[in-house]
Amino acid sequence: MEKLFLYILSAFFLTLNFNSCRAENDFEKGKLIERVQCIEDTSQSYALYLPKTYSKDKKYPVIFFFDPSAIGKKPLKLYKDYADKFDFILAGSNNSRNGVPLDIVESGIKIMIADVKERFSIDTNRVYAAGFSGGARVALAFVMEHGGVQGVIALGAGMPASGTINHKFSLLMMVGNEDFNYMELNSLNRQLKDMPIEHHLIVFNGKHKWAPPDVFENAFYWLLFKDMKDGKIAKDTNLAKEFIGKNRKEINLEKDKKVNFGDYLRYYLKNIEFLKGVIDISQDYDFYLELCRTKDFSQINDELIQSESLETEIKERMIRYLDKRDMRFWGMTIDTLYKKFETGQKPDPRLFKRVISFLSLASYLSCERAFANRDDSLINKFIDIYRLVDPDNPDYDFLLAKRYAYKNDKEHALLSLENAVKKGLDDPAKITNDAILSVLKDESKYKKILSQIK
């Protein structure tokens, strides 16, 4: 019995030593690791990227990422080169996804953050969160309620539906100019001017998606400059000059080319909100104030208000008509929206593209409700609308697969599912957790399709 006790005790200490070794030695630097299980709860995991310079002898800032589909590796794959450039650790949750109750998600976030802090050399005064779409709302909800995070990068969505701000943090927002949540982020940006939250909004060319890597690089600058202002790291004038140079190139100030007035405004405002307190930007500030007193500035503001009003009106009408108007109406309406975008209709042609993106989301969600209600006519109608607004989106083929599976047509369901994956469907849980698609689980082609998801 005594030998057995000593054996168990030895095994226990070996396990402790093993976990300790994992914390220091078992994670390769400069390599994207898709799954690290948390020690406290192995059902929780995260993707990890350690910069190539990582050493346990130095403290590193960390960004925790939240993808709406719980694909932790997706943002890390996009932004890992900047983790190397700026010496950041990146960790992406594999559990936080849209549809999971917030209390469960927040419990998992606490476990993930604690695990990263325990295993790696983290500067606990430089902990940040970044999320896209529903992941942005999760990041903000967690930080507002629990704190412990000094800055948030919110992409494609803003504040959660409820909650109060109980902790201080800075906020950098990013949104595509064709994103259906574009108006929400612009509105939030204005509201924050009356709140004690250091903030900035970056608009990029694109739809509802993670920002392109060169756009997201701004997040690293934002966090570093904020740390310089707060005295956490030394001020770096060379980095500030590098940042200004990149901004000039963005709006072609480096070239002999006429610059759009709105781009001028954004250039100076960006320099001011990023660099105030890091270097002297008084000249930029004075010139920005001059621009704000011009007729062009008033015109831009008037066009923005007019654009937001028109976009809201169109979206509300689309929702009212969604299940009431026939496909002839929708064919003509969607064709008109595309033509207004292509011909540069004022006040802002991109608002018509945002309405189309909004219709894509609305028809998808309405189709899912129709499946739940087993309403065949509405299922077919919403899929047809989706085809008109977003035929190249993998979700169109996903909905087709569901319709075929719903009719027990396994052959066409599998073909549509295969097309969805080819177009970029990258969330295996979306397939495996769908009750309607469960009729395909015993098919060999189904398993092959899942194995093709990267």
Residue 355, domain CATH: 1.25.40
| Residue 86: exposure state from Cβ atoms within 10 A (0-12, 13-18, ≥19) | middle
User: DSSP letters along 245-314, please?
Assistant: HHHHHHTTTTSSS---HHHHHHHHHHHHHHHBTTB--HHHHHHHHHHHTSHHHHHHHHHHHHHHHHHHHH
Region 155-159: mean pLDDT is: 96
With respect to residue 304, please indicate whether it lies within any of the assigned structural domains. no
% of the chain residues with pLDDT over 90: 83
pLDDT score, position 16: 42
pLDDT score, position 84: 98
Tokens representing residue 311 in the block:
């976009």
Query: Between 300 and 71, whose confidence is greater?
Result: 71
Which residue, 181, 208, 233, sits at the end of a domain?
233
| Same domain flag for 160 and 271 | no
Other Cβ atoms less than 10 A from the Cβ of 59: the count is 14
| Whether pTM exceeds 0.85 | yes
Q: Is the pLDDT of residue 2 over 80?
A: no
| Same domain flag for 267 and 319 | no
Sheet hosting strand 89-93, strand order edge to edge: 32-37, 45-49, 89-93, 60-66, 122-132, 151-155, 170-176, 199-204
| Same domain flag for 35 and 159 | yes
What whole-number distance in Å separates Cα of residue 224 and Cα of residue 241?
14
Reported confidence tier of residue 1, pLDDT bands at 50, 70, 90: very low
With respect to residue 75, please indicate whether it lies within any of the assigned structural domains. yes
| Same domain flag for 27 and 144 | yes
Buried b (16+ CB within 10 A) or exposed e, 348-360: bebbbbbbbbbbb
Q: At what angle do helices 102-119 and 134-146 cross, to 10 degrees?
A: 70
| Same domain flag for 65 and 208 | yes
With respect to residue 222, please indicate whether it lies within any of the assigned structural domains. yes
Average pLDDT, rounded, for the chain: 92
Query: Between 315 and 9, whose confidence is greater?
Result: 315
| Same domain flag for 278 and 416 | no
Q: Is the pLDDT of residue 13 over 70?
A: no
| Same domain flag for 166 and 31 | yes
| Same domain flag for 229 and 324 | no
Alpha carbon separation from 48 to 37, 85, 192, 405 (Å, rounded): 10, 16, 32, 36
Q: Is the pLDDT of residue 72 over 80?
A: yes
pLDDT score, position 260: 73
Task: Render pLDDT for 380-398 as a digit per residue (tens, 0 to 9).
Answer: 999 999 999 999 999 999 9
Region 407-420: mean pLDDT is: 97
With respect to residue 308, please indicate whether it lies within any of the assigned structural domains. no
Reported confidence tier of residue 25, pLDDT bands at 50, 70, 90: low
Angle at 130 between CA 128 and CA 133, to 5 degrees: 155
| Same domain flag for 149 and 215 | yes
Reported confidence tier of residue 8, pLDDT bands at 50, 70, 90: very low
With respect to residue 402, please indicate whether it lies within any of the assigned structural domains. yes
What whole-number distance in Å separates Cα of residue 424 and Cα of residue 396?
11
pLDDT score, position 26: 78
Region 343-365: mean pLDDT is: 95
Residue 229, domain CATH: 3.40.50.1820
| Residue 426: exposure state from Cβ atoms within 10 A (0-12, 13-18, ≥19) | middle
Reported confidence tier of residue 300, pLDDT bands at 50, 70, 90: confident
With respect to residue 408, please indicate whether it lies within any of the assigned structural domains. yes
Residue range(s) defining the domain that contains residue 281: 235-293
With respect to residue 9, please indicate whether it lies within any of the assigned structural domains. no
With respect to residue 5, please indicate whether it lies within any of the assigned structural domains. no
Q: Is the pLDDT of residue 12 over 50?
A: no
| Same domain flag for 206 and 248 | no
What whole-number distance in Å separates Cα of residue 265 and Cα of residue 285?
11
Q: Of 406, 395, 396, 404, which Cα lies nearest the Cα of 373?
A: 406
How many domains is the chain built from?
3
Region 257-262: mean pLDDT is: 70
Query: Between 317 and 15, whose confidence is greater?
Result: 317
Q: Is the pLDDT of residue 11 over 60?
A: no
Task: Render pLDDT for 228-237 as a digit per residue (tens, 0 to 9).
Answer: 999 999 999 9
| Same domain flag for 81 and 154 | yes
Which residue, 293, 322, 339, sits at the end of a domain?
293
| Same domain flag for 381 and 240 | no
